[in-house]
Structure 1
Amino acid sequence: MPRFPALFLSHGAPTLLIEPSPAREFLAGYGKALGEPSAIVVVSAHWETERPLVTAAARPETIHDFYGFPRALYEHRYPAPGDSVLARRIAGLLDEAGLAAGLDSERGLDHGAWVPLSLLYPEAGIPTLQVSIQPRLGPAHHLALGEALRPLCEEGVLVIGSGSLTHNLHDFRGHILASPPEPYVVAFGEWAAAAVEEGRTQDLLAYRERAPYGVRAHPTEEHLLPLFAALGAGDGPGRRVHASHTYGVLAMDVYAFA
């Protein structure tokens, strides 16, 4: 089984699945370019816990964790199987790294997982698990979490950090899908791309102080923390494989960490 890169992808609004956009078009073709992994592990911005947890359900349900969206999204299902053996292995890797992980046999797949995966791998035949984030523990913790998952990439597992390169919903008002990006969104995105591709991990960890508009791009951190998990799971600097924007305030960038 070939080694897979770790990915950070911006999942945007749930309507990514049904609205035409450059990000949707990219993700719909990127799964074929990557090939089929033996399993998928998603560190999603939409599962927050006090300590790392790993899904262990045999058939994880599709969680519709949003309100006020088109009916088609609530009717959509992503019936990927789980993998309890892999779940225990992931928990073991996290434990070995001192991260005191646990298993959750009830948790399903939230939209941070199933929306982009419905584009990447629409057949939903690949075992899929999630790992939770711990927002109060910050970027360095999530870098360590990703480093603990790195051996999985060597075993043909696709590790994905699913969040958003920018995520300030307070600035959402007045924008439509095709609105041009706000200047601060562009500035933060270009800074992040350079920092990732130049391997400036310390700058990324201190993005709130060092990046232009770091706090405005992320008033809260949960949607950027999956980037650090992908960075840790990868082996060396990453590269930006897609860049676009939706609704003027959401940078939809995708990074691959080989």
Structure 2
Amino acid sequence: MMPSYFIAHGAPSLVLEEHAYTDLLKNFAAYTTKPKAIVLFSAHWEEPVQTVSAVDEYSTIYDFGGFQDELYRITYPAKGDRSLSNQIQSLFSKQGIESALDEKRGLDHGAWAVLKLIYPNADIPVVALSVNRYLTNEQQYEIGKALSSLREQDVLVIGSGGTVHNLMGLNWRSEGTDAWAEEFDNWLQSKLETWDTTSLFNYRDLAPYAREAVPSSEHFIPLLIAMGAGDAGRKARLLHRSYQYGNLSLSCWQFD
């Protein structure tokens, strides 16, 4: 069965960088079976109703400003998969999850920056999905769980976000790591590895420095969704964790 993954997308410039984390993503295809399709939840696509893309070919959205000119020339013309989009809607419906199709939206940098690193040829169909910060954490998990059967069809489920993502707290010149960011991620690791969903669903009250690490939940939500997609096996494995700018976490979790 194909694992599901949480992949932190960091800053938009990640796709141009060279370090241990980008090396991991660039070699992603070497240690995983090539999927038939990719289902990706991006923190940068928020909708009040769970939305499923249904396009023939994606445009590239440059939803950022002030970065290198080269970033604005990158494209990721992945194809969509309308039959998979319809199947996803059906799976949601069976679990009582309301959803809608979107036939126009391209891929934002939370999607294409990650995909460009792991599958640079854009030769695998992609279905992008939105997130909704106003749902409960239990509901986020159930959204991922509703799609867990796709893994049996060699469909790769990815949540793209960030566990510590506080843009107001970044130190762009820092070469060290803030202790509070590591403390939050250490707590998170202990709960993921023991599949302690009770604690995870209540992380804002239980985790140290939760409000500093997650001032707004849209980047944390994809982790819960990817974990939910791995509910059948309930095994979590940390593949990488590092930091940029003092506390921006770059982590990759595999759920089997």
Q: What TM-score do the two structures reach when normalised by structure 2?
A: 0.97
Please give the alpha-carbon distance, in whole angstroms, between the structure 2 residues aligned to 1:247 and 1:4: 33
Stretches (4+) displaced over 6 A: none
Q: Counterpart amino acid of 1:189?
A: D
Name the structure 2 match of 1:223.
219
Name the structure 2 match of 1:208.
204
Q: Does 1:182 align with 2:173?
A: no
Correspondence list, 1:57-136, <5 A: 57-136=55-134
Shift of 1:32: 1.8
Please give the alpha-carbon distance, in whole angstroms, between the structure 1 residues aligned to 2:216 and 2:146: 24
Please give the alpha-carbon distance, in whole angstroms, between the structure 2 residues aligned to 1:95 and 1:70: 42
Name the structure 1 match of 2:25.
27
SS of 1:252 mapped into structure 2:
strand
Shift of 1:92: 1.1
- Pick aligned residue for 1:245 from 220, 243, 246: 243
Name the structure 2 match of 1:162.
160
SS of 1:91 mapped into structure 2:
helix
SS of 2:138 mapped into structure 1:
helix
SS of 2:10 mapped into structure 1:
coil
Please give the alpha-carbon distance, in whole angstroms, between the structure 1 residues aligned to 2:28 and 2:57: 25
Name the structure 1 match of 2:190.
194
Please give the alpha-carbon distance, in whole angstroms, between the structure 2 residues aligned to 1:193 and 1:251: 13
- Structure 2 residue runs of 5 or longer lacking an equivalent are none
State the identity %: 39
- Pick aligned residue for 1:39 from 32, 37, 42: 37
Q: Counterpart amino acid of 2:34?
A: E
Q: Counterpart amino acid of 1:88?
A: N
SS of 1:106 mapped into structure 2:
coil
SS of 2:113 mapped into structure 1:
helix
Q: Is the Cα contact below 8 Å between 1:51 and 1:99 reproduced in 2? A: no
Shift of 1:240: 0.6
Please give the alpha-carbon distance, in whole angstroms, between the structure 2 residues aligned to 1:163 and 1:62: 18
Shift of 1:175: 2.5
TM-align CA RMSD: 1.0
Please give the alpha-carbon distance, in whole angstroms, between the structure 2 residues aligned to 1:97 and 1:4: 22
Shift of 1:179: 1.8
Q: Counterpart amino acid of 2:223?
A: L
Shift of 1:211: 0.7
Please give the alpha-carbon distance, in whole angstroms, between the structure 2 residues aligned to 1:122 and 1:217: 30
Q: What TM-score do the two structures reach when normalised by structure 1?
A: 0.96
Name the structure 1 match of 2:52.
54
Shift of 1:74: 0.7
Shift of 1:161: 0.5
Please give the alpha-carbon distance, in whole angstroms, between the structure 2 residues aligned to 1:247 and 1:92: 42
Q: Counterpart amino acid of 2:229?
A: A
Please give the alpha-carbon distance, in whole angstroms, between the structure 1 residues aligned to 2:20 and 2:198: 31
Name the structure 2 match of 1:139.
137
